[in-house]
Amino acid sequence: MKHYWLMKSEPEEASVDDFLAAPAATLPWTGVRNYQARNFMRDQMRIDDGVLFYHSSCAEPGVVGIARVSSEPYPDPTQFDPKSPYFDEASKKESPRWVLVDVQVLDKTRTLGLPEMRSIPALADMLVLRKGNRLSITPVEARHWQLVTRLLRK
């Protein structure tokens, strides 16, 4: 069964344009250090799952692209690099704590910002719009995926 996800990235760290400039518009989704988000990648994400690429911590947060999961989960190498801000000295190569998936951007879109998303009653229960939700990766229901992708193509 295909799943859908919203994945947040700060554009200064990894923007939709950075992904588009990479070979095959694909980069590893490094640096996730939240157990619930890690578990989504490790246990539920599959190749070809849909991804709403979301810019966060910026002037206009919102969905800025459509992407797909393009790899199975594998250990995030940044956890082993002492020079990385994502270094985790408790994580060992023989039992890595953190995983990632590769993500391929399929389409850069207009920005579907939070105010616009909040103005659409059919999206009211979308996880990213719930108060207090700060997860960098959240599941997206098929009905929300269909509506958001339709809005992005307008």
Taken in order 55, 57, 61, 62, the sign of the CA dihedral is positive
Which of 2-11, 34-43, 53-62, 124-133 shows the lowest mean pLDDT across its residues? 124-133
Domains in the chain with CATH codes: 4-152 (3.10.590.10)
Provide the β-strand partners of residue 26. Answer: 104
Local confidence band at 154 (pLDDT 50, 70, 90 cut-offs): confident
User: Per residue, what are the HEC states of 105-144?
Assistant: EEEEEEEEEHHHHHCCHHHCCCHHHCCCCCCCEEEECHHH
pTM for the complete prediction? Answer: 0.95
Q: Find out whether 59 and 106 touch, Cβ atoms under 8 Å.
A: no
pLDDT digits (tens, 9 = 90+) for 126-151: 999 988 788 899 999 999 999 999 99
| Contacts within 8 Å (CB) and 24+ apart, 20-24 | 20/105, 20/108, 24/70, 24/104
Mean pLDDT for 4-19 is: 96
pLDDT digits (tens, 9 = 90+) for 103-130: 999 999 999 999 999 999 999 999 999 8
> Across the chain, what does the average pLDDT equal?
95
Distance CA 141, CA 4 (A): 7
